[in-house]
Amino acid sequence: MNNMFMSALLGFVVGMVGTGAGGAVAFVLKKPTNRFMSVILGLSSGLMISIVCFDLLPEAFEMAGLSTGIIGIIVGVGMITLVDQMIPERDFADRGLRKGGYIRTGVLLGVGIAMHNFPEGLAIGSGLAAETRLGLSLAAVIAFHNMPEGVAMATPMVVGGYSRIKIFLATIIAGIPMGFGAFFGSMLGEISPDLVSLCLAFAGGTMLFITCGELIPKSQNMHRGRASAFGIIVGIIAGIILSFNFR
C-alpha cells in the first residue's frame, strides 16, 4: 500500500512540475511580437510532433504491434474531435476574452496533455513496481518531456490574453492525471502490454490532431513569413535529440 501511495506521489510531482515548468513561460512573455509568438508556437508544435512520432508511438507499436497502435490513434483522434466540437470558439469570444481561438487551442491541448499524462503515469507506476531504478528513470525522462508540452499549452493562451496565473494553474492541473496513472500502474503491477499500448497510442492521436489541426495553423496565422516553418523544423530537431538521448 505504501508503495502505491509513493508511486502516486511521484506521479503527481512529475506531472505537475513538468507541465507547470513549461507553463511558467506565461510569466516570462510580456508583450511578445507576432513573429516571436509564431516561432514559439511553431517550436512547440515541432517538439510535440517529435515526442509523439519518435517516442510515444514507437513505444506503443513495440509493446503490442502496429494494429493495436493504429486503433488507439484513430480512437484518440475521434475522441478529441468530439471535444473540439464541444468547445466552439464563439464561447470564448462571448466571455470577452481577446483572440478566443487561441485560448480554445490551449484548452484543447490541455485536454490532450491530461489524456497523455495518465498512460505515462501507468508507465511510472509499473516501472516502480518492477524496479525502483527503472521507475525513477522513467519519471525523470517524462518530467523533462512534459516541459515543452506545458510551453505548447501556455503559449496560445498567452497570445489569447488569458490570465497568466490561470494559465500556470491550468498547466499544473493538466499534470494531475499522471498521479492517478502511477497509482493504478503500481497497484496492478504488471499491466497488459495491449492496454498500455492502446493508451499511449490514444494519447498520441489526440496530440497529433491538436498540433496539426490547431497549433500549426495558429502559428502560421500569427506571421506571414517563414518564422513558423523555421520554428517547427527547429522543434522537430530538438525533439529528435531529446527522444534519442534521454531514453
Q: Note the pTM of the prediction, 2 decimals.
A: 0.69
Element (H, E) at 158: helix 132-159
| Cell numbers that stand for 51 in this block | 515526442
Q: What confidence tens digit (pLDDT) does each residue in 48-69 have? A: 888 788 877 887 888 788 998 8
Going by C-alpha positions, the residue among 133, 138, 136, 86 that lies closest to residue 108 is 86
Please give the Cα distance from 185 to 190 (Å, whole number).
8
Domain hosting residue 120, numbered range: 2-245
Q: What confidence tens digit (pLDDT) does each residue in 130-162 have? A: 567 767 877 877 787 677 778 778 877 777 777
Whether residue 98 has pLDDT greater than 50: no
What is the pLDDT, as a whole number, of residue 152? 74
Whether residue 234 has pLDDT greater than 90: yes
Q: Which residues have CB under 8 Å from 167's CB, separation 6+?
A: 23, 26, 106, 154, 157, 158
Residue type for position 228 = S
Are 114 and 207 contacting, i.e. CB atoms less than 8 angstroms apart? no
Residue type for position 154 = A
For residue 38, the tally of other CB atoms under 10 A from its CB is 26
Going by C-alpha positions, the residue among 150, 135, 195 that lies closest to residue 8 is 135
Query: Per this entry, what is the length of the chain?
Result: 247
E strands, 22-134, are none
| Cell numbers that stand for 121 in this block | 503515469
Whether residue 118 has pLDDT greater than 90: no
Whether residue 75 has pLDDT greater than 60: yes
Q: What is the dihedral of CA 218, 107, 40, 119, to 10 degrees?
A: -120
Are 39 and 151 contacting, i.e. CB atoms less than 8 angstroms apart? no
Please give the Cα distance from 28 to 145 (Å, whole number).
20
Whether residue 18 has pLDDT greater than 50: yes
Going by C-alpha positions, the residue among 181, 199, 175 that lies closest to residue 126 is 181
Residue-by-residue DSSP string for 160-202: TT--HHHHHHHHHHHTTHHHHHHHHHHHHSS--HHHHHHHHHH
Whether residue 215 has pLDDT greater than 80: no
Q: What are the CA-CA distances from residue 213 to residues 11, 21, 178, 218 (Å)?
A: 29, 25, 25, 9
* Number of domain units in the chain: 1
